[in-house]
Amino acid sequence: MSYLPSSPYSSGPRSRGQEPQGAATREIPLISYRGVGKSFNGKVVLEGIDLDVYQGETLVILGRSGSGKTVMTSMLVGLNRPDTGSITVAGKEIMELKTDSDWREIRLQTGYLFQGSALYDSMTVGENVAFPMIQHTGWKEEEIARRVQEKLAQVGLEEAEGQEPAALSGGMQRRAALARSLALDPQIIIYDEPTAGLDPITGDEITHLIRRLQETLKVTSIIVSHDLNLTQQVADRLGLIYQGRMVFLGTFAEFLKSPHEEARRFLHEPQEDGA
């Protein structure tokens, strides 16, 4: 039984008479999935995904480990390619993007926080944050240094600029990686399991940080997670992926009332870390 409305345009909170927590602009979707499917070695991971994400909205994609949540978001930056369907990001059809230069604009507008942080080991934290600026802007050294400090301050890591990633705790690595993904002031931020593998207190700190960034930056955020605490605190809407399909899309309040078996299971059974 699917709780996904037939038209994703009518699935937003406004159509259900509920306003989102964030300042989402509902008229035109910034990101649209239409009938997206993906298989790996004959195993269907995603099937018929329809979804709209609006400007300024924070959407959480929930699902069990291996349900295809990360695959779904990684398509937005070209790390995976849909087998079927189409995805548009800011009006650009990603199926038409072939080369790195085609992808450049979308990638520069998108910050991506990887589950394992993916900080460059050979660089310090400051160099990690500076790296996108050095590669894509003509800013002078002093300007880059100032902006690196600013980004690190946003995530509360000013003192870690000269440290190597390996010397940081898991939570600090996650924050440093977040500072790097903010380096070019992206319009979209994708968080892949931002609290996975962290203790509850550090997980809460990351949750508060995401919420604070939402309030200050007002960017569009997609969060892949299985963390209900995080979802409750930051989500304007959430989508639940089950067996490659989106079986629920709505607000957290609606999710709590959802009779769908997987939603009930998600609410009442502890989830393991993973994508």
* Interface positions with another protein (CB under 8 A): 74, 77-79, 100-101, 103-104, 107-108, 110, 112, 114-116, 118-122, 131-132, 135-136
Query: Closest CB to another protein among 74 and 220?
Result: 74
Cβ 177 to another protein shortest distance, Å = 8
Query: Closest CB to another protein among 5 and 145?
Result: 145
Cβ 70 to another protein shortest distance, Å = 10
Query: Closest CB to another protein among 56 and 132?
Result: 132
Cβ 108 to another protein shortest distance, Å = 5
Query: Closest CB to another protein among 118 and 217?
Result: 118
Cβ 17 to another protein shortest distance, Å = 37
Cβ 125 to another protein shortest distance, Å = 14
Contact assessment for residue 174 and residue 205, using Cβ atoms and an 8 Å cutoff: no
Query: Closest CB to another protein among 11 and 117?
Result: 117
